[in-house]
Amino acid sequence: MINLSAMLEKNCTKSAVLFNSKKRILEYIAELAHQQLPEMSEYSILEALMTREKLGSTGIGGGIAIPHGKLDCVTSPILIFVVSQDPIPFDAIDNQGVDIFCAILIPKDQCQAHLTTLSGIAKLLTQKDLTKKIRHASSDQELYQLLMDYSQQTGEK
C-alpha cells in the first residue's frame, strides 16, 4: 500500500496543463518538484528524470507515464501529479500520447521503497474509473481531492 497523503502536496497536483513535448512536461514537473525540494535545482531534478527516460520511456500505456528519478536530498518519496489537457508524444510502450503524468522522486539509497512506490502508483493508475475521473477533473483542487478521496476509500491513505 502507498500513502498518497504523505507523498502528494496540493501545489504539486495540476490539472489541464498545456504542453506539447516530452521535454517541456518534464521541465514543468521539475519546476513543481523544486517547490518541494528548494535545496535542489530544477536542473538537477530534470536531469534525474531525463537520465531515467534515456533508459527507456516511463510511458506505461493507456495515456499514462510514471517518470521517476532518484535524488540524494530526498528523504521520502515525493509525487508530482500532472494531467495534460491534450495527450503528449512520450514514446510510451503503446505508441499513444500521454496525458496523465505521475512523477516520483525517490531517495537514492532506498531501492525497495522505489520499487514499492512505483508498483503502487502503477496499480492505482490501472483503475479505469479513477483514470477517467482524473482526466475530467476541472481544477487542481478537484484533482487533488479526487486522489485523496480515492486513496482513503481503498485504504491506501
Q: Residues 29-48: pLDDT tens digits?
A: 999 999 999 999 999 999 99
Q: Is 7 exposed, middle or buried (0-12, 13-18, 19+ CB in 10 A)?
A: buried
pLDDT of residue 33: 95
Structural domain including 137 reads 8-149
CA angle 9, 108, 105 (to 5 degrees): 25
The answer to the question of residue 145 being in a domain is yes
The whole-model pTM stands at 0.92
Q: Give pLDDT < 70 ranges for the chain.
A: 1, 111, 113-114, 154-157
In angstroms, how far apart are the furthest CA atoms of the chain?
37
Contact (Cβ atoms closer than 8 angstroms) between residue 65 and residue 56: no
Tell me which residues are annotated as active site: 68
Whether 22 contacts 89, CB under 8 Å: yes
In a domain, 2, yes or no: no
Residue 75 belongs to a domain: yes
Based on the structure, what is the number of domains in the chain?
Answer: 1
In our burial notation (b when 16+ CB lie closer than 10 A, e otherwise), range 126-145 reads: eeeebbebbbebeebeebbe
User: CA 11, CA 78: separation in Å to the nearest integer?
Assistant: 12
CATH number of the structural domain spanning residue 50: 3.40.930.10
What's at 127, amino acid-wise? Q
Do the beta carbons of residue 88 and residue 98 sit within 8 Å?
Answer: yes
